[in-house]
């Protein structure tokens, strides 16, 4: 059993529970990035979490390894993150990290040591080979897991998905893992220093990249209403950083990377009646055009009813009976039925009109 | 599971029983501070003075030429920074070293550049030896210090240190060698060999971690790294670690006495290991095999595998070895040594270092010959799957 351990409370308790259940557990911490690569003699930034994971493994009496997945993570996750912003989209690197880093690259390491099982501290559940939401609705992380290969599900254990965060913390105390039991968790993206994603973009593409250069705020009618300092600073539905002086609250409703324009408009311009997604992955037998499902367009968004109107090799289009607000390219479109994750895709575009099922 | 097999002697060695016994009294009744004037102090001073003499004798040096340090890294830092800082006023602003040094030297040399000096890295042959013409080109009259490790800790490459030292000295360049891996393996004699400084480390030769030494030839200008008391002529202030100095002296004596016998024993084991591995894995590459090298280090890459997975799998089967140099987080980073001698990144990424020593037997080697090829086969199956 290989457990991916971040040094946080969730994965530590996951490891502790599995040790208690009698599994032969090996802890692994992935080293994914290093902010200080210009200073080779300085410690890595992720050192504290590695140390915490190591201490937890020592306490649990299991071996701990640090796996260097920096170059693959840089290619599959960080590079894509930057490219997506450069294309005017809002990526979710955690999805790609799960898809490529944790449940592909890490599984290869698990294979190398004959680990039959792989476990993480995600709040989601695998029940009889089916991926389901975590039991704690406030913590559910199933939204980030749609991209994994379905074949992995039979080897995957998510022990904390059966409980609430409070129960996880209580269990950490029970297991004697005081070191990490009350650790606060960061909502930030792990490789983005102090929550400012433009720093990562600037480092990879240069501070003068188009995505970080001045452009115009425009209305749908084309009128210019101000200037911004780079469209990568904006996401659909954002209100912060927009020009003022309008009769009603204004939102980012579209980003046009080729002209560097950020389109703003009132709330009703955020409304979408359909959504197109690509890179579609199914964790159950694929649905067909005409099938009903629920979709979630953002982490923590309420799932909405949808009808699959078109399904091609890699692309899918869904009609949203009740509409959805601020459908954002680059975010994930995750398909659910109740608490079962059916699959998902990356949002390509919103449709303002209700798509019609092709006959 | 069969008995665990330790094949990481280049990382560290167990403390020898003789060494442990020699240190014992200094953790008990002979606890004095060597700087004190009373009988307790005298006792400690005697042991410390003798330790200086004994280590000096092992190096063909005088007692006053030996400085005890806390480790090999401190000895390397003291040599590189101590010489550079003492000589920069002479107009010698460059420091020459190899790209395959231990980080203790490389990082100290980087520090020199932050202090305004020039860093010059020698070119290496594909087998990890210093390229002669590069040496002549870089080691010039404006160089303060040239530092070349005697035996490389990753691939075992053995430099012609006496010859290089001679050539450096001819240009007025102070010559330092990191002999942490070489001590107890090669013949070292400060009388006939011209190096000015030489670093060694206790825990590679059966003394505890936490003690090292720097040989400093008489008359060599050296700035201390720390400031405080006048211990060790001010070169290394701080109350001396008497017990460990005694331990290092004992370990050094044993290592010198057993040197030739040890070399033959390790060489035979290594040859058995390498022959066996190449027989079962004909496409494996043993780095630095074509040049003179130490008998205790084998660095092997098998295409189609990766170091990290192999190390884990070996460890979980009770075989301890290493790959590249461990980064602070403990993750495996690509070896700067292998890349410096032109090993392609892919091949370097599968490198495993097996290092033999006092715990090594034919049975250990045979165990590796059973397990290692089996793990390689498995890794390759997974790769193609």
Q: Look at residue A98 and tell me whether its pLDDT is greater than 70.
A: yes
Q: Look at residue A37 and tell me whether its pLDDT is greater than 60.
A: no
User: Testing the interface with A: which of B331, B349, B383, B384 to mutate, by most A Cβ within 10 A?
Assistant: B331
As given in the structure block, the two tokens for residue A16 are 């502790």
- pLDDT of amino acid A36: 53
Asked if A46 has any chain B CB less than 8 Å from its own CB, the reply is: yes
- pLDDT of amino acid B324: 66
Would the CB atoms of B331 and A108 count as touching at under 8 Å?
Answer: no
pLDDT tens for A195-208 read 899 999 999 999 99
Nearest CA in chain B to A110: B309
Asked if B330 has any chain A CB less than 8 Å from its own CB, the reply is: yes
Asked if A108 has any chain B CB less than 8 Å from its own CB, the reply is: yes
pLDDT > 70 fraction of chain B, expressed in percent and rounded:
98
Would the CB atoms of B328 and A44 count as touching at under 8 Å?
Answer: yes
Residues of chain A in contact with residue B112, where contact means CB-CB under 8 angstroms, are none
How many pairs of residues across A and B have Cβ atoms under 8 Å apart?
57
Residues of chain A in contact with residue B324, where contact means CB-CB under 8 angstroms, are none
pLDDT tens for A117-133 read 999 999 999 999 999 99
More confident residue, B1 or A182: A182
∠ CA(B367), CA(B373), CA(B375), 5° rounding? 95
Q: Look at residue B146 and tell me whether its pLDDT is greater than 80.
A: yes
Asked if A38 has any chain B CB less than 8 Å from its own CB, the reply is: no
- pLDDT of amino acid A192: 85
Distance from the B320 Cα atom to the nearest Cα atom in chain A, whole angstroms:
13
∠ CA(A109), CA(A110), CA(A115), 5° rounding? 155
More confident residue, B331 or A344: A344
- Write the CB contacts of B291 (distance below 8 Å, at least 6 apart in sequence): B125, B127, B128, B129, B157, B158
Whether A45 sits among the annotated catalytic residues: the reply is: no
CA distances from B238 to A213, B5, B53, B64, B232 (A): 57, 39, 20, 17, 9
- How large is the average pLDDT for residues B251-277? 98
∠ CA(A176), CA(A177), CA(A181), 5° rounding? 120
pLDDT tens for A274-332 read 999 999 999 999 999 999 999 999 999 999 999 999 998 889 999 999 999 999 999 99
CA atoms of A142 and A132, how far apart (whole Å): 7
Q: Look at residue B68 and tell me whether its pLDDT is greater than 80.
A: yes
Which residue of B315, B327, B382 is in closest CB contact with A108? B382
Would the CB atoms of A112 and B313 count as touching at under 8 Å?
Answer: yes
Q: Look at residue A38 and tell me whether its pLDDT is greater than 80.
A: no
As given in the structure block, the two tokens for residue B367 are 């165990």
Asked if A67 has any chain B CB less than 8 Å from its own CB, the reply is: yes
Q: Look at residue B1 and tell me whether its pLDDT is greater than 80.
A: no
Would the CB atoms of A44 and B327 count as touching at under 8 Å?
Answer: yes
Would the CB atoms of A50 and B330 count as touching at under 8 Å?
Answer: yes
Residues of chain B in contact with residue A112, where contact means CB-CB under 8 angstroms, are 306, 309-310, 312-313, 378-379, 382
Find the helix or strand (DSSP H, E) in which A85 lies. helix A79-86
- pLDDT of amino acid B383: 78
For B244-276, the three-class secondary structure string (H helix, E strand, C coil) is: HHHHHHHHHHHHHHCHHHHHHHHHHHHHHHHHH
Nearest CA in chain A to B375: A112
- How large is the average pLDDT for residues A62-84? 94
More confident residue, B372 or A359: B372
Q: Look at residue A186 and tell me whether its pLDDT is greater than 80.
A: no
B220: left (phi over 0), alpha (psi -120 to 50) or beta: beta
- pLDDT of amino acid A210: 95
- pLDDT of amino acid A194: 77
Query: Using 50, 70 and 90 to split pLDDT, how confident is the model at B333?
Result: confident
Would the CB atoms of A68 and B309 count as touching at under 8 Å?
Answer: no
Query: Using 50, 70 and 90 to split pLDDT, how confident is the model at B325?
Result: low
DSSP conformation class of B225: S
Q: Look at residue B328 and tell me whether its pLDDT is greater than 70.
A: no
CA distances from A186 to A49, A80, A81, A122, A192 (A): 12, 22, 19, 14, 11
| Residue A245 burial (10 A CB sphere; 0-12, 13-18, 19+) | exposed
Residues 75..104 of B with a Cβ closer than 8 Å to A: which? Answer: 103
Asked if B37 has any chain A CB less than 8 Å from its own CB, the reply is: no
pLDDT > 70 fraction of chain A, expressed in percent and rounded:
96
Would the CB atoms of A113 and B329 count as touching at under 8 Å?
Answer: no
CA B141 to chain centre: 28
pLDDT tens for B28-57 read 999 999 999 999 999 999 999 999 999 999
CA distances from B197 to A263, B83, B193 (A): 69, 10, 11
Asked if B312 has any chain A CB less than 8 Å from its own CB, the reply is: yes
Residues of chain A in contact with residue B306, where contact means CB-CB under 8 angstroms, are 112
- pLDDT of amino acid A232: 97
As given in the structure block, the two tokens for residue B85 are 């800082």
- pLDDT of amino acid A191: 87
Nearest CA in chain B to A53: B329
pLDDT tens for B196-240 read 999 999 999 999 999 999 999 999 999 999 999 888 989 999 999
Nearest CA in chain A to B318: A63
Rg over alpha carbons for chain A, rounded to the nearest Å, is 22
* Residues of B acting as catalytic residues: 327
Asked if A63 has any chain B CB less than 8 Å from its own CB, the reply is: yes
Q: Look at residue A85 and tell me whether its pLDDT is greater than 60.
A: yes
Distance from the B385 Cα atom to the nearest Cα atom in chain A, whole angstroms:
10
Would the CB atoms of B315 and A63 count as touching at under 8 Å?
Answer: yes
| Residue A141 burial (10 A CB sphere; 0-12, 13-18, 19+) | buried
A85 contacts A136 by C-beta, under 8 angstroms = no
More confident residue, B121 or B384: B121
- First CA to last CA distance, chain A: 49
CA atoms of B87 and B89, how far apart (whole Å): 5
- Write the CB contacts of A57 (distance below 8 Å, at least 6 apart in sequence): A5, A15, A27, A63, A64
- pLDDT of amino acid A43: 41
- How large is the average pLDDT for residues A225-229? 96
Query: Using 50, 70 and 90 to split pLDDT, how confident is the model at B63?
Result: very high
Query: Using 50, 70 and 90 to split pLDDT, how confident is the model at A183?
Result: confident
ipTM greater than 0.90? no
Mean of pLDDT over chain A: 92
CA atoms of A269 and A254, how far apart (whole Å): 9
Nearest CA in chain A to B383: A108
Single pTM value for the model: 0.88
Asked if B328 has any chain A CB less than 8 Å from its own CB, the reply is: yes
Asked if B315 has any chain A CB less than 8 Å from its own CB, the reply is: yes
Asked if B331 has any chain A CB less than 8 Å from its own CB, the reply is: yes
Q: Look at residue B65 and tell me whether its pLDDT is greater than 80.
A: yes
Distance from the A207 Cα atom to the nearest Cα atom in chain B, whole angstroms:
27
């Amino acid at each position: 059993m290989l457990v991916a351990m971040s040094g946080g409370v969730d994965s530590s308790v996951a490891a502790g529970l599995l040790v208690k259940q009698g599994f032969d557990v090996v802890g692994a911490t992935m080293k994914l990035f290093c902010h200080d690569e210009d200073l080779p003699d300085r410690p890595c930034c992720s050192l504290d979490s590695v140390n915490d994971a190591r201490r937890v493994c020592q306490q649990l009496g299991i071996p701990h390894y640090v796996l260097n997945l920096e170059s693959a993570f840089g290619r599959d996750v960080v590079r894509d993150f930057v490219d997506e912003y450069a294309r005017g989209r809002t990526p979710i690197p955690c999805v790609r990290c799960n898809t490529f880093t944790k449940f592909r690259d890490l599984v290869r390491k698990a294979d190398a040591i004959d680990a039959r099982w792989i476990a993480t501290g995600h709040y989601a559940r695998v029940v009889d080979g089916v991926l389901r939401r975590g039991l704690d609705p406030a913590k559910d992380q199933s939204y980030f897991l749609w991209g994994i290969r379905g074949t992995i599900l039979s080897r995957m254990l998510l022990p904390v998905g059966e409980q609430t965060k409070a129960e996880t913390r209580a269990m950490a105390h029970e297991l004697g893992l005081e070191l990490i039991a009350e650790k606060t968790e960061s909502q930030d993206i792990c490789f983005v220093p102090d929550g400012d994603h433009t720093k990562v973009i600037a480092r990879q593409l240069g501070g003068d990249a188009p995505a970080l250069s001045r452009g115009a705020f425009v209305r749908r009618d084309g009128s210019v209403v101000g200037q911004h300092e780079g469209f990568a600073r904006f996401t659909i539905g954002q209100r912060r950083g927009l020009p003022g002086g309008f009769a009603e609250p204004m939102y980012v409703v579209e980003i046009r990377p080729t002209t560097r324009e950020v389109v703003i408009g009132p709330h009703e311009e955020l409304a979408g009646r359909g959504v197109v997604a690509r890179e579609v992955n199914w964790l159950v037998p694929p649905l067909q055009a005409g099938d009903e499902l629920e979709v979630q367009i953002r982490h923590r968004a309420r799932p909405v009813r949808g009808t699959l109107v078109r399904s091609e090799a890699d692309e899918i289009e869904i009609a949203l009976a009740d509409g959805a607000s601020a459908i954002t390219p680059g975010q994930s479109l995750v398909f659910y039925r109740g608490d079962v994750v059916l699959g998902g895709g990356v949002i390509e575009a919103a449709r303002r009109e209700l798509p019609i099922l092709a006959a | 599971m069969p008995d665990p097999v330790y094949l990481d002697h280049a990382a560290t060695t167990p403390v020898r029983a003789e060494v442990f016994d020699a240190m014992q009294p200094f953790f008990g009744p002979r606890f004095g501070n060597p700087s004190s004037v009373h009988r307790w102090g005298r006792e400690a001073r005697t042991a410390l003075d003798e330790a200086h003499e004994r280590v000096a004798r092992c190096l063909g040096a005088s007692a006053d030429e030996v400085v005890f340090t806390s480790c090999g890294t401190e000895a390397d830092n003291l040599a590189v920074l101590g010489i550079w800082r003492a000589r920069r006023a002479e107009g010698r602003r460059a420091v020459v070293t190899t790209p395959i040094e231990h980080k203790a030297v490389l990082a100290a040399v980087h520090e020199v550049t932050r202090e305004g000096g020039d860093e010059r890295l020698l070119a290496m042959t594909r087998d990890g030896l210093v390229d002669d013409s590069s040496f002549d080109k870089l080691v010039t009259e404006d160089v303060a210090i040239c530092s070349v490790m005697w035996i490389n800790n990753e691939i075992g490459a053995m430099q012609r240190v006496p010859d290089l030292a001679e050539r450096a000295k001819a240009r007025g360049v102070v010559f330092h060698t990191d002999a942490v891996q070489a001590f107890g393996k090669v013949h070292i004699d400060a009388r006939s060999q011209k190096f000015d400084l030489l670093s060694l480390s206790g825990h590679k030769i059966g003394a505890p971690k936490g003690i090292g030494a720097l040989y400093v030839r008489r008359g060599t200008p050296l700035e201390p790294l720390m400031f405080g008391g006048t211990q060790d002529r001010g070169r290394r202030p701080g109350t001396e670690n008497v017990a460990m100095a005694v331990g290092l002296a004992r370990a050094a004596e044993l290592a010198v006495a057993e040197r030739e016998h040890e070399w033959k024993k390790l060489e035979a084991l290594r040859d058995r290991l390498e022959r066996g591995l190449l027989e079962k894995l004909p496409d494996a590459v043993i780095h630095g095999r074509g040049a003179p090298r130490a008998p205790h280090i084998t660095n092997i890459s098998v295409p189609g595998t990766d170091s990290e997975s192999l190390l884990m799998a070996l460890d979980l089967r009770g075989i301890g070895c290493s790959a590249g140099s461990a980064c602070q987080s403990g993750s495996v980073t690509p070896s700067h040594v292998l890349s410096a001698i032109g090993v392609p990144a892919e091949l370097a990424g599968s490198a495993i270092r097996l290092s033999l020593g006092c715990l090594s037997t034919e049975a250990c080697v045979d165990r590796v010959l059973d397990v290692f090829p089996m793990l390689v086969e498995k890794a390759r199956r997974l790769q193609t799957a």
